Structure 1
């Protein structure tokens, strides 16, 4: 059998198994397979990058974590194709693509396990060639009042996983270690201020600073949603000038933890840990549950040429402050004080994320397909140098657990 015939059969079968949910089930017979192919000379499906049987090569993939972050995208873009893939979240088994499959959107499910599993399933699915796709991780997050405000938009260079540590309850350490600022201690050491002696490899990721800066440059030109009157009131309770201000675009970094933490003590500790793990380079300003997990999946996929880690953006908009204002204690603030809702944060995901997407599509042929103009000049990847280069964080030696 000729190789061209094999390609044609592979494309037909892939198309048949990827039909939108709205079409329902097809009978498995030759007629059904033939009917699935529109009789058009313009229907020229071809794999242009690396996978001979893939039929979708989106230029941009939007990554949401749950429906609240997903729905504004579905309302603002023409996502008319529904594609259900094995391995995606049981809650969000379907991803969406625009009319010409140029932009697609996936919802991973919340938390590190869901994010890593969903991104891996997407990256390994043979229907998609993602080797030149740009990925925009766009979700809501808690925010540090020293560096951002309610409704603010943050674009990260570093993502730091702060949940991988020993943890002791307060009553178990306070007599012996009264100077500790929390019950967390990095792995392999007995000092809260010391770099961990052993790591898992997912503690720190660094993404493409040039691409991040381009996204920031474009997002600064848009008018953001300023939020509610209650948002404005809560902002006014803080001493920090940034927290008091209206939403804008910030270049600062994200921490990842499955634990939804709040309060001054934990924020002080994690802020310091972020500095320790990045040798003082990162500035923690937003807190999320998934980003390091997604970036780990992208790292593994990049190692085998399935994605390009240089084309990943991490954007988080601030839905709530991660520590209370001086006039309210942490328990009261967290459980009983309305911060005014997260409508501005959700709206600003689309408002701030759209400019870089538009720029990629408009300048694809001249700029973004080759990826040279905004290729990274900084180190990109994980603490283990999985993708090559030398990390500008970490220490000379450590044990990999």
Structure 2
């Protein structure tokens, strides 16, 4: 007679065996039922919108939503939902303003299982304050270097040593622009120089238009020949800081800060709030294979100057050009958001139309 324990043991083995046979089939069905990630060719990163996404005053996103027909909506647990053109593979996002918003939104998108971003190009397209030494409002600049303006020590200028030029100095140093320069901890990012120059060469002759408002505003900048030119496309680097700063002295700091962190290779042109946050998240995501930092491009367009014209104080200039809600008070808002789309869409269209070429090979000049 067989032991009842043996019978029970055999029964358990049989049940376990049946479970082992049936469970993979069930799992296979579940896997088969899960939708495949949507391949994305280009992610357009904007930072804010004014009012609605279409049909009213355009912020950074509206031109893209309308012009690229980003009509398929995807709920997104962040500042703004995502919009996709499923025919072209162009995905648009609005991160919210500031490096905290941009970093968290880009990280969330990079980890989103609904999208395959492994071959996607990332185009940041937003407005900025421009240095009048380099360009005029309404202009567009492709950045190769992104420098962060927040990570630092600070002493109020009224309490700093008398021989210091500023009370703001890098972490890991004992004085402004101290040497040796400390190892970066997110203060500087170098984008793909070949891709940046490719985008610039492709768009350098785009007509950005002009307007009487722009002509009147730039005429004030006597002694700044680049600030008095009609809008144009250039290469120039970006300083990202959460604080909206303005004025001649701050502009001098921005130029020195960018040169310091880039070893003199970068040239400060545009002042914004988000791009080092975007770059930091893409840097962290790249080793996972989910994204490719090497495919990041940053395009900023001038909605205002970063310092006052001769004959005005910094406070007068700031208040005149920044009187409304985010984005609404800028003298060149319409021209700047339009320029971002005119220039950026030329790059997006080129990538989409020749995807067989650019999917596996990043363009370079």
Q: Is the 8 A contact 1:225 1:347 kept in 2?
A: no
Counting matched residue pairs gives 327
* Inter-partner Cα distance in structure 2 for 1:277 and 1:60: 29
Change in Cα spacing, 1:103 to 1:347, as seen in structure 2 (3 Å) is same
3-state SS, counterpart of residue 276 of structure 2: helix
Residues of 2 paired with 1:64 and 1:8: CA distance? 39
1:246-299 residue CA offsets vs partner (Å, 9 max, x unmatched): 111111100010010111111111211111111100000001100000000000
Q: Is contact 1:61–1:104 with CA below 8 Å preserved after alignment? A: yes
Q: TM-score of the superposition, structure 2-length normalised?
A: 0.84
How far apart are the structure 1 equivalents of 2:124 and 2:316?
Answer: 32
Q: For residue 9 of structure 1, what is the aligned residue in structure 2?
A: 30
Q: Which residue of 1 aligns with 2:335?
A: 344
Aligned 8 A contact 2:197 2:364 in 1: no
- Answer yes or no: is 1:369 the counterpart of 2:359: yes
**Aligned counterparts of 1:287 and 1:134: Cα–Cα separation in 2:** 23
Q: Contact 2:128 / 2:303 at 8 angstroms: preserved in 1? A: yes
Q: Is 1:57 the counterpart of 2:58 in the alignment?
A: no
Question: 1:378 is matched with which residue?
Answer: none
Q: Distance in 2 between matches of 1:2 and 1:57?
A: 30
CA distance in 2, matches of 1:11, 1:63: 32
CA contact (8 A) 1:116 1:294 kept: yes
Question: Partner residue of 1:214?
Answer: 198
- Is 1:80 aligned with 2:71? yes
Higher Rg of the two aligned structures: 2
Q: For the structure 1 residues 289 and 372, does the alpha-carbon distance in structure 2 shift closer, same or farther, using more than 3 Å as the test?
A: closer
Partner Cα distance (2:267, 2:205) in 1:
23
2:4 equivalent in structure 1: none
1:230–1:182 Cα change, 3 Å: farther
Consecutive unaligned residues of structure 1, counting only runs of 5 or more, are 15-53, 376-401
C-alpha distance in structure 2 between counterparts of 1:11 and 1:122, whole Å: 23
How far did 1:199 drift? 5.1
Aligned residues: CA RMSD: 2.1
Three-state SS of the structure 2 residue aligned to 1:113 is: helix
SS of the residue aligned with 1:119? helix
Deviation of 1:333 (Å): 1.1
Structure 2 regions of 5+ residues with no counterpart? 1-21, 50-58, 322-328
Q: 1:355 aligns with which of 337, 346, 352?
A: 346
- Kept in 2: contact 1:160–1:256 (CA 8 A): yes
